[in-house]
Structure 1
Amino acid sequence: MTTDEKSTHLKSLIEKIESLESEKTELLSLIRDAFAEAKFAGYDPKIMKQVIKCRKMGKDAYLEQEQLLGTYLAALDPS
């Protein structure tokens, strides 16, 4: 690749990243709006975020995490 080609390629990559960052900002704004709407409707956004995190994990990973959480909590409060 020549110097001019590298420069053009770099510029193209920078512009692509800038465009994606702009889209990301817009999407984050839409997500914030959705959580605000949920809160207005009486839902707890923190719990909703936990639900979303759990759904991303998959059933087996979620069950394993819940089991470990229960084990840790029991060790801290054996009553």
Structure 2
Amino acid sequence: MSEGNIAADQLRLLIERIERLEEEKSGIGDDIKDVYLELKATGYEPKIVRQIIRLRKMQPHDRQEMEAILQTYLAALGME
């Protein structure tokens, strides 16, 4: 086999792998949407749950810093 064929085969395999992963990602996205619909049907507010998930991903120090800045801004705007 020539180097061109090997490179083409490798490229094709990598592209097919990406395509499979994209399909899986789409399926996972659909599953997540279903869970949010279930949340809403149960009476929870999906927007708030999304915020909680975003906050849970943050490091505690970063979250505390963000909350402190938010409080400062809210106070400056007279919203606190």
**TM above 0.5, one fold?**
yes
Task: Quote the Cα distance in structure 1 between the aligned partners of 2:75 and 2:17.
Answer: 50
**Alignment partner of 1:77: what SS?**
coil
Q: Which residue of 1 aligns with 2:27?
A: 26
Q: Which residue of 1 aligns with 2:15?
A: 14
Structure 1: unaligned runs, 5 residues or longer: none
1:16 positional shift: 0.4
TM-score, length-scaled by structure 2: 0.92
Structure 2: unaligned runs, 5 residues or longer: none
TM-score, length-scaled by structure 1: 0.93
Q: Which residue of 2 aligns with 1:55?
A: 56
The answer on 1:2 being equivalent to 2:3 is: yes
The alignment covers a number of residue pairs equal to 79
Q: Which residue of 2 aligns with 1:65?
A: 66
Cα deviation per residue 1:44-65 (whole Å; 9 max; x = unaligned)?
0000000000000021111110
1:78 positional shift: 7.3
1:73 positional shift: 1.2
One-letter amino acid of the structure 2 residue matched with residue 11 of structure 1: R
Cα deviation per residue 1:21-72 (whole Å; 9 max; x = unaligned)?
0000000000000000010000000000000000000211111100000111
Task: Quote the Cα distance in structure 2 between the aligned partners of 1:71 and 1:77.
Answer: 10
Task: Output the aligned Cα RMSD.
Answer: 1.6
Shift >6 Å, 4+ stretches:
none
